[in-house]
Structure 1
């Protein structure tokens, strides 16, 4: 009798286990499909984010090179103007030297002001490019996170539809 009861209980448990596994694959297929689509969507979003970041970094590199070039040109012009002024003062007659030195100082002040303005403008343009690039990267990252969240929500919905 114990063997009969044990066999009936084992059969009942096997039937219950079989009934549960047959219902699960349908739900599992939907979840697996949703997960696959989610991974695909996330990969696309991450790829787009990487492209945006690469373009932004390239714009920043170009802006840095451009700013450095503008600064060096402005500095070279200032050095040339300083050298010309020193040369003029050295060539001036002793009685006119004070007048020539005053004119040279006036001219050098103007040259220094123009040089500073050019350097400030180059820095301003560089900073604007850096800020724009950072904003582009942040926007792309936010879009990727939105896609990731949406994809995970779809996976959870598929899992809840059992």
Structure 2
């Protein structure tokens, strides 16, 4: 009987140890997966910020160029009108 009890105890202990090990491994994997997911999200945020900055910069450049082009066009039109009046 004592032997049987001892064997049973050993079995129980082994089972418990296995369970604990698997739990540990699973939690570790879960943690790693969460970390990876967070990194992905962070990278996406950074990419979106970069895109917004790029778009804004391009828009400002276009706006400046557009303003200059309009001014140049107005000057040309004025000079043409003056020439037409002289004729």
TM range (shorter): 0.7 to 0.9
1:64 aligns with 2:55: yes
Determine the C-alpha separation between the residues in 1 that align with 2:74 and 2:16: 85
Structure 1, residues 101-153: CA drift from partner, whole Å, max 9, x if none?
Answer: xxxxxxxxxxxxxxxxxxxxxxxxxxxxxxxxxxxxxxxxxxxxxxxxxxxxx
User: What is the aligned residue count?
Assistant: 77
Q: Structure 1: which 4+ aligned runs deviate by more than 2 Å?
A: none
Return the offset for 1:42.
Answer: 1.2
Determine the C-alpha separation between the residues in 2 that align with 1:89 and 1:48: 61
Determine the C-alpha separation between the residues in 2 that align with 1:63 and 1:40: 35
Determine the C-alpha separation between the residues in 1 that align with 2:30 and 2:68: 57
Determine the C-alpha separation between the residues in 1 that align with 2:19 and 2:64: 67
Report the equivalent of 2:23.
32
Determine the C-alpha separation between the residues in 1 that align with 2:15 and 2:50: 52
Higher relative contact order (CA 8 A, sep 6+): 1
Unpaired runs of 5+ residues, structure 2, are: none
1:46 aligns with 2:37: yes
Report the equivalent of 1:139.
none
Determine the C-alpha separation between the residues in 2 that align with 1:50 and 1:59: 14
Q: 1:85-100 alignment to 2 at 5 Å?
A: 85-92=76-83, 93-94=86-87
Determine the C-alpha separation between the residues in 2 that align with 1:63 and 1:28: 52
Structure 1, residues 53-105: CA drift from partner, whole Å, max 9, x if none?
Answer: 111110110000000111111111111111111100111221xxxxxxxxxxx
Determine the C-alpha separation between the residues in 2 that align with 1:89 and 1:24: 96
